[in-house]
Amino acid sequence: MPPSLPSTTSLGPVRLTVNDLATTASFYEQVIGLVPLTHDGDSATLGTAAGATLLELVERADAPARPRGSAGLFHLALLLPTRADLALALRRLATARYPLDGASDHLVSEALYLTDPEGNGIEIYRDRPRGEWGREADGQIRMATLPLDLDSVIDDMPAGITSETPNASVPDGAVMGHVHLQVSDLEQAEAFYNGVLGFDVVVRGYPGALFVSAGGYHHHLGLNTWASAGGAPNTPATRGLDRFEIVLPDDAAVAEVRGRLDAAGTPALESDGALFATDPFGNGLRFVAAA
């Protein structure tokens, strides 16, 4: 039996390497609605008005683009508390005249897709209540990719919003719901994320993709080979994903993950109360205990 992560496991901030910190930070503030929290030289953090960090940006003006076909970020996914919040996110995008890449109904969630100025994929979504999630005959969560009715989303705009109402920032309940990665091999991805770390496999129904989670969530991580099968690993020298954070309930849970990484021969480093490692595809991981 593979190990299993605690049911309260969640994701924390995503860190991106960017060429232009000012432009990218402005995009996430003005178009996505994140609140600027810190700005220190070549780095910045953004999140909610309550002070929760969701995104870390580090500027490296000489960092080249990630090579085509290599591993790395497919998209980061901001989870909003309600459908009304999704309507407000859609309003922000329309006000900024920023184009969508797509909009999908995944049965378990409703999602908007776009790309930031540096080429990083973004999903903004809301979950349907867990009681409405369907199951396949084998018990796996039923997901699909269907067109999202944007007019129906707009119909859930909060009362009192007019063309003169200023756009609001993301709500305090916004979190990093999941991260979707491009990987070179799904079997290797499953061996690491399920067999070593302990994420449960929840969906296998998408060709070329695997979805894993803790606590029965529809997915904390998406893993796909749609454009990266057999590709080179991600490297810290390129633009894009540097690392993402996995939040565990306590120090004992972090220690258990450390033990499994050690047993698998995966190097891990402890620093400032966090555990750092790299997946088989060059993506950085930061494990922390919940505050």
Read off the pLDDT of residues 145-193 as tens digits, 9 standing for 90 and up.
Answer: 999 999 999 999 999 898 889 999 999 999 999 999 999 999 999 999 9
Q: What does the pLDDT read at residue 245?
A: 98
Q: Say which DSSP state 101 is in.
A: S
- In order of their start, the domains of the chain are 10-289 (3.10.180.10)
d(CA 34, CA 49): 8
pLDDT interval class at 236 (50, 70, 90):
confident
What integer is the mean pLDDT of 89-116? Answer: 97
**What's the mean pLDDT in 275-284?**
98
- C-alpha closest to that of 2 among 254, 263, 184, 183: 263
- In contact, 218 and 210? CB cutoff 8 Å: no
Residue 1 has what pLDDT?
A: 79
Mean of pLDDT values over 237-260: 97
Tokens encoding 176: 């990093």
Mean per-residue pLDDT over the chain, rounded = 97
Average pLDDT over residues 273-289: 98
Give the residue, 168 or 24, on which the prediction is more confident: 24
pTM summary value: 0.97
Q: What is the pLDDT of residue 163?
A: 83
The pLDDT score that the predictor gives to residue 45 is 98
What does the pLDDT read at residue 279? 98
CB atoms within 10 A of CB 266: 17
Q: Is the pLDDT of residue 255 over 90?
A: yes
pLDDT tens figures, 25-42: 999 999 999 999 999 999
Residue 237, CA distances (Å) to 106, 184, 197, 233 in order? 34, 19, 26, 11
What per-residue confidence (pLDDT) applies to 291?
A: 83
H helix runs in the chain, sequence order: 21-27, 83-96, 150-154, 186-192, 251-263
Kindly state the average pLDDT of the residues 129-152: 95
Average pLDDT for 200-225: 96
Q: For residues 43 and 45, what is the distance between their CA atoms, to the nearest angstrom?
A: 7
Give me the pLDDT at residue 38, please.
97
Local confidence band at 2 (pLDDT 50, 70, 90 cut-offs) = confident
